[in-house]
Amino acid sequence: MDEVTGAQLIAEALKSQNVEYMFGIVGVPIIEVAMAAQAAGIKYVGMRNEQAACYAASAVGYLTGWPAVCLVVSGPGLIHALGGMANANMNCWPVIVIGGSSDRNQETTGAFQEFPQVEACRLYSKFSARPSSLEMIPAVVEKGVRSSIYGRPGATYIDIAGDMVNAKIDRANVRFVSCCPAPPVSQADSREITQAVRLLRAAQRPLIIIGKGAAYARAEKEVRELVEGTGIPFLPTPMGKGVLSDDHPNCVAAARSRALLQADVIVLLGARLNWILHFGFPPRFSPHVKIIQVDLCAEELSNNVRAASALLGDIRAVVRQLLETVRSWRFPSDSQWWLTLKEKMTSNAQISKSLALQSTLPMNYYTAFHHISELLPKDCIIVSEGANTMDIGRTMLLNYLPRHRLDAGTFGTMGVGPGFAIAAAVLEQTQKSAQRVVCVEGDSAFGFSGMEVETMCRYKLPIIIIVINNNGIYSGVDLNTWKEMEKMGDMTTIAPPVTLLPEARYEQVMSAFGGRGYLVRTVEELRSALQESLNNTQMPSLLNVLIDPASDRKQQEFPWLTRSNL
């Protein structure tokens, strides 16, 4: 009799579904699951917090198009992972969470870390189930993988009772399942395609918005053909950056507000009219704008703004349909629309350049990002989170390749940076591509998952963390002001809620685990430390860049609609 344990069945089932990566924190009852996964050839990365583990696993799903696993213990361990599951669902990224749970014969008795895990995960996942027996483990794993990638991608949860992990069964009695096929590809209704092309041909101020859905769909070739064939300006969403290079001549990101406000026909490619795009509402959009919406989720069509053309289907396939129908039509490059956008781009670029070239100390955001951008290789993966750090960094740090930017995303989640960076670095390490991973963090954002620097050092992942340190959340105070406040009494009633400890030595956290830490105050120190870090391909580095606590974004344009600008 060929006996196999529950842990082995889980590992073998995952491997048969082509799952290659697992992130987690082990403990009772799932230690053996991690060991079995390694024995099956799955790479296991031990993290320091379940949230970061789930962020990392979900990032692998986005970057590869196939889910990774987040492995957690029961009760609190699973609860810590819920944030990552919710984030994956909101971003539409596939991830499989496997959680240990109390023994079946101890349910309702107050068992160690007993919790209604399957029920709890239903709010945060597309599929949540516990195999009813050892025989059913492969089938449930296959359904978990399939559910995570079919339709709108997202999180799935598989619960494993503690007594099932080491229980044994004759292999002959197990219901083994082959690997699920890649998601089916669907095309849009041909009548809607015809309507979309009719709207584009009639447009005076067309605009294409490229979302991270286009990046996930690997639609960069088709999108390039559409943009370059039609000559329409495009605007990327934050993680849509790089589907077409940020320095592409049709990119109008530097005139974002003007483009959104005045466009009369907008093609949405895998982007949603949510808070990131101001819901498509006035005054940020024209009340008369016509939306051509491409999405693989029927429920997303016409959300907030009724689509003039609703193209339900796979983005690559739908864009090919548009290309076949639009054929030789081209929007004129000398149109008033292009002139308006180029004028605004030039004006905004001059404002940013003037801020970037300021030589005062401490540095401002724009100065720091200007010099960082000059040194970063064009093929690096940029991970970014924070408030001003992420917003300003998005405009200053360019992306040239698809799926090379990861940030707080649709859910606006802080703490994702280190987990995302670890995921990207593990993939780059496996693929031996020599692409660098650069994680740009606000000092507040770094605090959420900062202990993951130990994970980076343990696995010798040459991640470069750049902490843009303004001593606070949005803004802080300088060291002298802090000392004066301390003299005034109880800091719990005096210190502004947005402040953090001035000039905190975050670089020493990295040094404590064997990585390289740099304290940066000047442009010269910044350039020197970043170049040294780029040259070091063996260990991670952290640059603690002290900037002006009062530094802020340049004044934003929030124009109200008038008859003259419609």
- Note down pLDDT in tens along the chain; length 566 residues: 799 999 999 999 999 999 999 999 999 999 999 999 999 999 999 999 999 999 999 999 999 999 999 999 999 999 999 999 999 999 999 999 999 999 999 999 999 999 999 999 999 999 999 999 999 999 999 999 999 999 999 999 999 999 999 999 999 999 999 999 999 999 999 999 999 999 999 999 999 999 999 999 999 999 999 999 999 999 999 999 999 999 999 999 999 999 999 999 999 999 999 999 999 999 999 999 999 999 999 999 999 999 999 999 999 999 999 999 998 899 999 999 999 999 999 999 999 899 999 999 999 999 999 999 999 999 999 999 999 999 999 999 999 999 999 999 999 999 999 999 999 999 999 999 889 999 999 999 999 999 999 999 999 999 999 999 999 999 999 999 999 999 999 999 999 999 999 999 999 999 999 999 999 999 999 999 999 999 999 999 999 999 999 998 766 554 433 333 33
Is the same domain home to 390 and 333?
no
pLDDT at 556 (0 to 100):
56
Domain membership of residue 88 (yes or no) is yes
Would you state the pLDDT for residue 564? Answer: 36
541 and 486, same structural domain? yes
Q: Which of 291, 317, 342 is the last residue of a domain?
A: 342
Last residue of a domain, one of 293, 313, 342: 342
**Per-residue pLDDT, 552:** 86
Residues 6+ apart with CB under 8 A from 292: 196, 199, 200, 265, 266, 267, 268, 307, 308, 309, 311
Residues 427, 489: one domain?
yes
* Cα 392 to Cα 397: distance, rounded to the nearest angstrom: 8
Strand ranges (DSSP E) for 30-175? 43-46, 69-72, 95-101, 127-129, 155-161, 168-170
**CA 379 to CA 384: how far, in whole Å?**
16
Taking residue 285's Cβ as centre, other Cβ atoms within 10 Å add up to 22
Supply the CATH number for residue 86's domain: 3.40.50.970
Q: Tell whether 70 and 168 lie within a shared domain.
A: yes
**CATH code (residue 230):** 3.40.50.1220
Question: Do both 197 and 324 map to the same domain?
Answer: yes
Place of tokens 């197990």: 174
Total number of domains constituting the chain: 3
Query: What whole-number distance in Å separates Cα of residue 100 and Cα of residue 107?
Result: 13
Query: Does residue 553 fall inside a structural domain?
Result: no
Q: Same domain for 399 and 519? A: yes
Same structural domain, 450 and 537: yes
Residue 390 belongs to domain spanning = 358-546
**Does residue 412 lie in a domain region?**
yes
Whether 391 is in a domain gets the answer yes
Query: 475 forms bridges with which residues in the sheet?
Result: 473
**Residue 9 domain flag:** yes
pLDDT of residue 554: 66
DSSP state of 204: S
Residues 195 and 85 in one domain: no
Question: 438 in a domain, yes or no?
Answer: yes
Residue 289 lies in a domain: yes
Q: Quick one: tokens of 228?
A: 């370059």
Closest C-alpha to 124, from 171, 157, 149, 100: 157
| Same domain (yes/no): 325, 375 | no
Same domain, 434 and 292: no
**Looking at the structure, do residues 306 and 271 belong to the same domain, yes or no?**
yes
The verdict on residue 348 lying in a domain is no
* 195 and 148 within one domain: no
